[in-house]
Chain A
């Protein structure tokens, strides 16, 4: 019991986390070295050792650059579009009741169904990935904005009207502070969703992107390059998520009123 109490100190959390990640890596190393067919799995030590060879391949660096550009454009457009649509749907009770079921229906429909249409319309290049990323990323923001507007206490609306607040003041001092906490968590969901959309489009059809290399390494049974490629993408994704979480923790605690 005393050992548990010793470990339970908050300062030891990071150690336990590091140990856990190290244990996972060790498990991966052992699995790749002793148990799994080397055609399919490569140990992390070798993946890391071959990283320079991976980046020396023509086009790999460019593929990551494209992925990041696609992701960032899709993310920014999703957030702006989601915010505007969320405000449009959520501001008035009547439109909210009418439109929300439609929004939920669209959200519940797997966007992958329209991927072939997006590809036909925008081609196999940059545009189709961005558009497909947006179709995934816009919903978390839209839904969170619309539903947090729903939770604004009616008394605030009444007093805003009583004191003659302009629409901008009403947005800035009543709706915005109400929206912010869930808005920031929706940003992270939106980023994950955008990445999913962009990668789905990449895997469906790509001539020089990450999806192309993923397929190439899989088809040629080159797990070392494949896991290197995926690991870098994973690290990028976790870093983006962590920086959004950091922004969230910094900004939400700020005084907004």
Chain B
């Protein structure tokens, strides 16, 4: 069953490449807009061999991880503080949702001024965008913990830390993980967005730079590289989610 589904997915990818290939062969599409996939794959192979991908990859990865580390640690801490009282949760929930609707991307030019065009502004953007979804999800997750478990732990004299460590985290972990996953995806997206808009280095910068240099083959090669990176990221996250969701 699994194999036949995987076959469909591989088939889909093959179909996309075939459509792309024949579109460039038969239709009069400008190679600037859609270059021949064969050349793109060649460029991608060159890119991988020359190890030129290492530097931008590590820049982007470190920005995403710094932003995500900040937003997940601070986000879970804030959720824990908020979720101690139902009244606080109910009061601040609409505010959090309202803040979440704020298009933080508009602050990016300001971040670029404040923190420079280097990693600082991307980390700030990634943090701002991924923080609130994590807080909202984690607060909701803590809210669904059975209150009898909390009461039992409090009666037996659990400290705040023990409450978090032994009651709240274990029972809320599946939902927290899906919130964290969303946060990481958002951090990745916004870091790449920041790099595409204004930066010195990183994967988004490479895509924007090759596009501005009108080198479409290189641009598509970088895009395929980023798709591969996000595919591996997502597969790893699904795996973590499945393992974490199963744990007691």
Contacts and interface: CB of A to CB of B under 8 A. Distances in A.
Nearest to B1: A97
Q: How large is the interface on A (under 10, 10 to 19, 20 to 34, 35 or more residues)?
A: 35 or more
Q: How large is the interface on B (under 10, 10 to 19, 20 to 34, 35 or more residues)?
A: 35 or more
B196 A108 contact: no
A200 B105 contact: yes
A98 B9 CA distance: 7
B5 A17 contact: no
Given A196-B103, A218-B112, A101 B9 contact: yes
Interface stretch (A55-63, A112-120, A167-175): A112-120
A242 interface: yes
Given A20-B95, A203-B197, A110 B103 contact: no
B97 A112 contact: no
Contacts of B98: 238, 241-242
A64 to B, nearest CB: 13
Contacts of B95: 17, 20-21
Interface in B78-114: 87, 90-92, 94-95, 97-98, 100-103, 105-110, 112-114
B219 interface: yes
B193 interface: yes
Interface string A12-44: 010011001100000000000000000010000
A235 B141 CA distance: 28
A203 B199 CA distance: 13
Interface stretch (A46-54, A149-157, A226-234): A226-234
A203 to B, nearest CB: 5
Nearest to B30: A120
A102 interface: yes
B226 interface: yes
Interface in A66-104: 97-99, 101-102, 104
